[in-house]
A and B are shown apart, each in its own frame.
Chain A
Amino acid sequence: MNVTRGFTGRPRVHDPGLPPGQYDAREDWPVLSAEVTPDLRPADWTFRIDGLVESPHTWDWDSAHALPASAYDGDIHCVTGWSKFGVRFGGVSLDAFFNVVRPHESATHAIATSHTGYTANLPLADLTGGRAWIAWEYDGRPLPPEHGGPARLLVPHLYFWKSAKWIAGITVLDHDEPGFWERNGYHARGNPWEEQRYSGD
């Protein structure tokens, strides 16, 4: 251990909900996207799943909203160190979309793409089983553009860079392919409980 002379730090909080190295951002919700926030209206938004699936499909705003509504109540964790407790997102479970396109047996991974061209790779298992959503509401209101509105991917059990803002599509693959930050040195999976921040962590 490399103790920093004279550093005491904030009072210790023992919060079992807080992954290692994270702090509670409370009311703050920092924005860290690296690109210009797009001016994307719901009428222009589309979401497509393709790749290793039985029947690739594109939804628009209305057809996506026709799927059964599903909400996430819980916490989110950003790789830069903040976590946010008790957030509420509304949208549709990704399972509902996958039920339509039916991934092949050989499918293992996926790459999520934004309307800006941003990408994030994920194991398919992290996107299924009620653990991932397409979200368009935050706290009962439309998701703000800076936070990915009109709709973003939401995979709250992984660091939040995986939850691609302005989600445009998911391509199902039989191998892993690094996305935007993953090619910039970030971890392939990004599990906050194992502190998988950078590749090699």
Chain B
Amino acid sequence: MPRFAVPGRIAVNGRAAATWQTATLTEIRRETPHAATFRLAVPRWAGHLPGQHLQLRLTAEDGYTAQRHYSIASAPDGSGHIELTLDHVPDGEVSGWFHTVARLGDTIEVRGPLSGFFAWAGDRPALLLGAGSGVVPLMSMVRHHRAAGLTVPLRMVVSARSPEELIYASELGAETTAVFTRSAPPGVPVGRMAPAHVAPLMAEQPDGGWEAYVCGSNGFAEHASRLLVAAGQPVERIRIERFG
């Protein structure tokens, strides 16, 4: 029989998941030509674990609403602020508003955090694979690892079209390997994430192995999870967040 399983989960606060709260835009930072970070003040934010996401709602004058899910980019810090990083999707209803209309002081609604499944509590060695804006929830984990001074091993492999499209490029450190699919800096090969990127990390896995987190488009998630399984990562220790 083939072997597969779903990993365990971390309980979420059902109340926080059900209650809409007003969030105020306090900062906008450009990350790449197509992505920007939006900092929100959410005074009654219940706190989150790295990897969790929220639901966001925009409301038009006539009561029409658009709802989307966004990963939380910031580490949990008790500041009453959270950060989201949004790709500007061409003609995107919600990301379009953020990238072309939003300005400081604007208010929107959020509820969450949602889904404990993709959360990382910072207690187990973590191997993170992401592509495009799929790096967002993984960056929350990297930031938390740094801010809390954690010593548990953490490694990340991120894929971007080009160095200019690599979100959080200036923040990535020795824990991260970047893979470029369209154009790369001199001396760096161009290509998809491959067994050669995963094998060295599997070889240096700590005692007890890695918890693997995969995030990005469905195409990337299928590709990256197959790389992990082929490299020997147990399926019940691979968590996947697909952006649809």
Contacts and interface: CB of A to CB of B under 8 A. Distances in A.
Interface string B1-18: 110111101011111011
A80 B93 contact: no
B63 interface: yes
A126 B139 CA distance: 41
Contacts of B238: 35-36
A104 interface: no
A30 interface: yes
B11 A21 contact: no
Contact of A36 (B4, B9, B17, B69): B4
Contacts of A35: 4-7, 235, 238-240
Contacts of B62: 12
B116 interface: yes
A66 interface: no
Contacts of B6: 34-35, 114, 116-118, 180
A21 B109 CA distance: 15
A7 B59 contact: yes
A4 B63 CA distance: 10
B240 A33 contact: yes
A200 B14 contact: yes
Interface residues of B, number: 58
Nearest to A40: B2
Interface in A149-201: 180-181, 183-185, 198-201
A116 B239 CA distance: 12
B4 A38 contact: yes
Nearest to B229: A36
A80 B114 contact: no
A9 B93 contact: yes
B241 interface: yes
Nearest to B228: A36
B17 A21 contact: no
Nearest to B60: A9
Contacts of B64: 9, 12
A42 to B, nearest CB: 12
Interface stretch (B78-86, B100-108, B151-159, B169-177): B100-108
B128 to A, nearest CB: 16
Nearest to A20: B65
23 contacts: A2-B20, A5-B107, A8-B60, A9-B60, A31-B242, A32-B242, A32-B244, A33-B240, A34-B242, A35-B238, A36-B4, A36-B238, A37-B225, A80-B244, A116-B4, A116-B6, A117-B6, A184-B9, A184-B11, A184-B116, A198-B18, A198-B111, A201-B18
CB-based closest 6 A-B pairs: A200-B18, A30-B244, A185-B17, A6-B101, A38-B4, A185-B12
Interface of B: 1-2, 4-7, 9, 11-15, 17-20, 22, 58-69, 93, 97, 101-102, 106-109, 111, 114-118, 218, 221-222, 225-226, 228-229, 235-236, 238-242, 244
